[in-house]
Amino acid sequence: MLFTRKITLLLVFISMITFFACNKFPYAESNQIYHQQQSLLIKKLKESPGIQIIDQLPKAKDWVGTTNFDLRKPNFVVIHHTAQNSCEQTLKTFTLERTKVSAHYVICKDGTIHHMLNDYFRAWHGGVAKWGNNTDINSSSIGIELDNNGFEPFDTAQINSLLLLLAQLKETYKIPVNNFIGHGDIAPGRKVDPNVQFPWIQLAKNGFGAWFEPSLTDSLPTGLSIPLAISMVGYDIKDTNTAILAFKRHFRQDSTAAMNDADKSVLSQLIKNKLSH
């Protein structure tokens, strides 16, 4: 009888261990790494600039700190599609140190928002990128990843959550209307996301990004080349063809490189809009 009771207790104990092991939060370890990294950054922020070593430069004997400062604020929002097969796969990718990629937000197909990184921290989402004269997009932007393989329509619930998030970010950080852009805009030739199916026009109607329809009264000024016009919008024209493709994917929902009069009309309006801001 006693032996049977011991066996029963042992089985219950093993079952409890198995239950808790199977139900352990899968990102507990990566969350711990997050807090460790956060602590290191906070430690750096607490250091007085005056204790930094400046070699071969005249340095004041005593440090005098200014009283007028606050945190740097993001000025761009860059939208991506994950190019993966599930939200869970993306979360896993962003919690493995070896991948060296991350984003501030991940939005699943059902509209669930994962806020993975404090907005004031620098995420690794843009890679080698350029927009206008800005060559370090990661340092001035918030990265948002949408669970989408790049070839499918975006879910309504997902876009609704995105719009709510963008409204909050725009208000909190006073992000200019024109500074809501895509990964393909800042890295033409290397990236295409969020691709031609992304509803840029819907975002623009809600105040996030520019959008213009072709107009018979708008055309490029005589003598202004298409590459130069594209660069005036913000695109890197190191490779003209990929820059044109990036422009057309975003502002014309088209994946062909040929520029027609309608495309030039939209390009002209974008330039006027950019110059007016």
Would you give per-residue pLDDT tens digits along the chain (277 residues)? 544 554 554 444 445 444 444 557 899 999 999 999 999 998 988 887 766 666 777 877 888 888 999 998 999 999 999 999 999 999 999 999 999 999 999 999 999 999 999 999 999 999 999 999 999 999 999 999 999 999 999 999 999 999 999 999 999 999 999 999 999 999 999 999 999 999 999 999 999 999 999 999 999 999 999 999 999 999 999 999 999 999 999 999 999 989 999 999 999 999 999 998 8
Q: How far apart are CA 230 and CA 163, in angstroms?
A: 27
Q: Annotated catalytic sites, by residue? A: 145
Task: Give me the residue spans of the domains in the chain.
Answer: 71-210, 212-277
Determine whether 274 is exposed, middle or buried from the number of CB atoms within 10 Å of its CB (0-12, 13-18, 19+).
middle
φ, ψ for residue 113, nearest 5 deg: -110, 125
Taking CA 82 as the corner, what is the angle to CA 182 and CA 245, rounded to the nearest 5 degrees? 40
Nearest-5° Cα angle at 144, 214 to 206: 40
Helices (H), the chain: 2-22, 28-46, 87-94, 156-173, 183-186, 200-205, 226-233, 240-251, 261-276
Taking a C-beta distance cutoff of 8 angstroms, is the pair 140, 100 a contact? no
d(CA 118, CA 83): 23
Question: Which amino acid makes up residue 106?
Answer: V
Q: Domain 71-210 is classified in which CATH homologous superfamily?
A: Peptidoglycan recognition protein-like (3.40.80.10)
| Neighbouring C-beta atoms of residue 95, cutoff 10 Å | 17
Tokens of 69: 């400062």
> How many CA within 13 A on the CB side of residue 250?
33
Helix 261-276, helix 240-251: angle, nearest 10: 80
